[in-house]
Amino acid sequence: MSALAMILSKRGYFVTGSDQKSNSQLNRLSEHGIKVFKQQIPTNIQTISRNSFCKPLIVISTAIPEHNPELRAAREANLKIIHRSDILAELIKNQPSIVVAGSHGKTTTSTFITTLLAQANQDPTAVIGGLVPCYNSNSHIGLGELLIAEADESDGSLVKFQSDLGIITNLELDHIDHYKDLNELANTMKKFSKNCKVLLANHDCPNVQKKIKASAWWSIEKSEGVDFAAIPIKVNGQQTIADIYEKGLKIGQITLPIPGLHNLSNAISAIAACRLKGIPYEILEKNISYLKTPGRRFEFRGIWKGRQVFDDYAHHPSEVNATLKMARLIIESSKSKLNNQPKRLVTVFEPHRYSRVHQFLKEFALALSESDLILLAPIYSAGEKIIDGINSECLANYIKGIHPDIPVFTAQNFKELPLLVETYTKQNDLIITMGAGDINQLWAALNANKPRVLWQATRLAA
């Protein structure tokens, strides 16, 4: 929403908005003259209407419930209300576009594509769900012809997008509040793919390979029978070196300055997208060194009392698994970008949505078991109703049942989480705060210099 607001404002529209929580993106909007209301109340609609020379258009996200007082006021005023995807669909339709869809890796892939195109002097417009390091923003108004957009599958709205080049990174059941099973999600992806003039897809994902018809394929597992491939030849905690193939022929070698095979897959999909848009490979290879992951994708927050703290958006078992395997590689590798080599992997995880934990309880437990120590925050509901028996304690018990040797502690509320961190972590730990809710605020809480009640943390964790 903030990216759309910024783009519309820069294109000459008068834009206002509201959000009940403050963050850096909202601050950036305010700095650019966009009025941001800090409460969602009926008087906002009255103020906007009174100060506008025409009836305002109201744009909402799926996160806004029907009982929202601001939305109800807009309906009572007979204002036109559309979904954010309708705005994005118009942007995509009005210029050549690359639209990235899939269950995981969308933001990173979109960021990689945007970065490579920017370094190739293409100056794309970007509408992305995370902060793009080369722009220090989740949006950019470029002078080039291409628009890069991230397509969210969580509510099915991506079927509205008609792109020149569509990308599907992978396909796995998620968002079970909207999809009853994998087939329903796959059917939505099929509709998206049919709206793309060209579709680029991940050959390494069995579900994509079985259920999606693509114009071109990429792989990090094989070079034959696919259009683009990056075959890893050296992997460590600092980088990945891979040979690059097109149509089975080796055309070069890259040194990706980011560890993790999932990031290599994202990188070759970005290279493939740029190649399909006519960017010479030599230019892309030269600019691989500029690639960085977007905000909240294994983002280094700093050093706290001798512990190196990272933050990550992972909230699905597969994402948790990929991130923790990369962290384990960093710990066990003789090469990493960290100044001090950490000795333990500590995961501070905030489960996201009761429905997701209920569906993937075993998968979460197995993925988190890559850690040496696990600290669990309460489930972030994302507006969902509580499911009886589904909470962080049941996840902790499941982990203990399959790995009794891994210490697991739970906090009764978010305020108690820093107490657990101070009590149970040690110097030279690598700490990952992980989840899609409020867990990214833990870094600030750790540095708030508030008195620590260590006995209380011990009692809560017992």
368-384: pLDDT as tens digits: 999 999 999 999 999 89
Rg (the chain; Cα; Å)? 23
SS (H, E, C) the chain: CHHHHHHHHHCCCCCEEECCCCCHHHHHHHHCCCEEECCCCHHHHHHHHHHCCCCCCEEECCCCCCCCHHHHHHHHCCCCEEEHHHHHHHHHHCCCEEEEECCCCHHHHHHHHHHHHHHCCCCCEEEEEEEECCCCEEEECCCCCCEEEECCCCCCHHHHCCCCEEEECCCCCCCCCCCCCHHHHHHHHHHHHHCCCEEEEECCCHHHHHHCCCCEEEECCCCCCCCEEEEEEEECECCEEEEEEECCEEEEEEEECCCCHHHHHHHHHHHHHHHHCCCCHHHHHHCHHHCCCCCCCCEEEEEECCEEEEEECCCCHHHHHHHHHHHHHHHHCCCECCCCCCCEEEEEECCECHHHHHHCHHHHHHHHCCCCEEEECCCECCCCCCCCCCCHHHHHHHHHHHCCCCCEEECCCHHHHHHHHHHHCCCCEEEEEECCCCHHHHHHHHCCCCCCCHHHHHHHHC
Residue 454 in this model has a pLDDT that exceeds 50: no
Q: What is the CATH number of domain 87-290?
A: 3.40.1190.10
Predicted confidence at residue 252, as pLDDT, reads: 98
Query: What pLDDT was estimated at residue 17?
Result: 95
Q: What is the pLDDT of residue 460?
A: 40
pLDDT of 385 reads 93
Q: For the chain, what is the mean pLDDT?
A: 94
> What pLDDT score does 449 carry?
62
Q: What is the pLDDT of residues 253-283, one digit of tens each?
A: 999 999 999 999 999 999 999 999 999 999 9
pLDDT band for 453, please (50, 70, 90 cuts). Answer: very low
Question: What's the CATH class of domain 2-79?
Answer: alpha beta
Residue spans of the domains in the chain: they are 2-79, 87-290, 299-461
pLDDT of residue 450: 56
Reported confidence tier of residue 459, pLDDT bands at 50, 70, 90:
very low
pLDDT for 340 equals: 82
Q: What pLDDT does 112 receive?
A: 98
Alpha carbons 100 and 78: distance in angstroms, whole number: 35
Is pLDDT of 423 > 50?
yes
Cα(399)–Cα(410) distance, integer angstroms: 12
For 143-194, the pLDDT digits (tens) are 999 999 999 999 999 999 999 999 999 999 999 999 999 999 999 999 999 9
Give how far the C-alpha of residue 105 lies from the chain's centroid of Cα atoms, to the nearest Å.
7
* Beta bridge pairs of residue 37: 18
pLDDT at 24: 84
Contact 307, 295 (CB under 8 A): no
Note the CATH number of domain 299-461: 3.90.190.20
- Cβ-in-10-Å burial (0-12, 13-18, 19+) of 376 comes to buried
Contact yes or no for 1/17 (Cβ under 8 A):
yes
Which residues lie below 8 Å from residue 338, measured CB to CB, with a gap of 6+?
308, 330, 430
* Strand duo 299-304 + 307-312: pairing: antiparallel
pLDDT digits (tens, 9 = 90+) for 100-116: 999 999 999 999 999 99
Separation CA 309–CA 425 (nearest Å): 11
Summarize the confidence of residues 310-339 as an average pLDDT: 92
Handedness of CA 386, 414, 137, 346 (dihedral sign): negative
- Copy the structure tokens of residue 335: 């090469």
- Give the percent of the chain with pLDDT over 70: 97
d(CA 404, CA 351): 20
Q: pLDDT at position 339, please?
A: 76
Does 416 score more than 90 pLDDT?
A: yes
Looking at residue 285, its pLDDT comes to 98
